[in-house]
Structure 1
């Protein structure tokens, strides 16, 4: 988690600060960026609460989890969702963005279901590290994948919620893809086995998230 902490400190925190400042000036672009960043922070500290070995920072993880949860909910509620489609340029490449979201949903589904399927063999012992269950896989398959699918479909249909959910998903992939890439490299550095395929795909997902988020926000008419 050292690499994830670095991404939180040097990428997510500056994004949160800048986007909050823009939001206070009435910027829709800032609001979308802030909501997506809060989604990443929420995901991160759910992970730390339930996945990290117990340590003296536990109550700090719980506080950050709770604060980011309610901040995320309040941020989502702050948008006039019905007006969102009209606030985007007609040049927004909705099909490309939807395609990326569908790819992420498919990749996570195949990667995690494949890992879970390995436990179906009689006598198989799942690799759980210091946890009691596959909680990351549960979060991704139960929340992230459905959000990707829903936002892709709604965006293609020009539905208001599609624009909001897509912005959250894209910023999350920008930060999460970067974090997972650095985590993988850090694990390889200290000799922890990693999947080269997953590392390549997550790195590509992070890069695609950066490019697509820039394009998405550029097409917001503030």
Structure 2
């Protein structure tokens, strides 16, 4: 793998700092406890009031803790497995490592721009920076023009590419269902904004992540070399992300929040994404290089 030393060092640092950040998010204590505030828009918002996320809303803070559990106990071990796999010269390992690094990149992008300022601000900055460069270097190790021949003729490009497009469109419609009704009614600002500046998750999903998934799916169906680059990576990232989202939904339900229909849709999408990932990986003709 090209840039193996740099990616290895960055991945180890990512694991260390992500362990620190997620452990602190899960187990930190202190704070005044739940209390209400009035936002600049005049809305009453219940604040979580405990631990690292004490200034986050009561609805959002538990979601961060749920994702911290997934990061600490699943994503970090998977990062080491992916790194070892990739360093052995495995093409599948590089795909897997790229997808896992993509998870860390997106996770700490959201933590940095959405999380209320806390003591780990510089840790989030470092994690986002290192995840970006490790992800970029790993992606640059691929030769897109050579990738189509590394896949068997039986690769399910239409079904896996089609599901990726469908899933991205479905989530786009779900987010538009949050944004558009207040615009039509004249209220403008959805209640989900709470005391935050804007809808960060919906905005970045609609602007970047969901269009990328649609483009990847279209390219894969058309057997474009960049489809063979993007789609396997996206599916690894998507599988891990859906596990994190499922954990968030479970903890939201335990807090008494209405989780329908997400409790049915998100786990289903996650299971299908993992099945698609397995089908794609089974179609890859392994070509090892020295790492």
TM-score, normalised by the number of residues in structure 2: 0.73
Q: Point out which structure has higher relative CO (alpha carbons under 8 A, 6+ apart).
A: 1
Partner of 1:88: 151
1:4-57 superposed Cα distances (whole Å, 9 cap, x missing partner): 111112222122111111111110000000001111111100111111122111
Change (3 A) 1:49 1:163: same
List gaps (5 residues or longer) in structure 2: 1-63, 287-291
Partner of 1:205: 269
Which one has a larger percent helix, Structure 1 or Structure 2? 1
Q: Which segment drifts farther, 113-122 or 28-37? A: 113-122
Pairing of 1:56-67 with structure 2 (within 5 A): 56-67=119-130
Q: State whether residues 12 and 175 of structure 1, in contact with CA within 8 Å, keep that contact through their aligned partners in structure 2.
A: yes
Change (3 A) 1:99 1:133: same
Structure number with greater Rg is 2
1:62-97 superposed Cα distances (whole Å, 9 cap, x missing partner): 111111011111111110111101111112111110
Q: d(CA) in 2 for partners of 1:125 and 1:31?
A: 42
Structure 2 counterpart of 1:119, from 174, 178, 182:
182
Q: d(CA) in 2 for partners of 1:50 and 1:219?
A: 38
1:94-118 superposed Cα distances (whole Å, 9 cap, x missing partner): 1110111111121111001111012
Secondary structure of the residue aligned to 1:21 is helix
Partner of 1:157: 222
Partner of 2:285: 221
Secondary structure of the residue aligned to 1:10 is helix
Partner of 2:17: none
Q: d(CA) in 2 for partners of 1:138 and 1:218?
A: 34
Number of corresponding residues? 221
Partner of 1:30: 93
Secondary structure of the residue aligned to 1:102 is helix
Partner of 2:213: 148
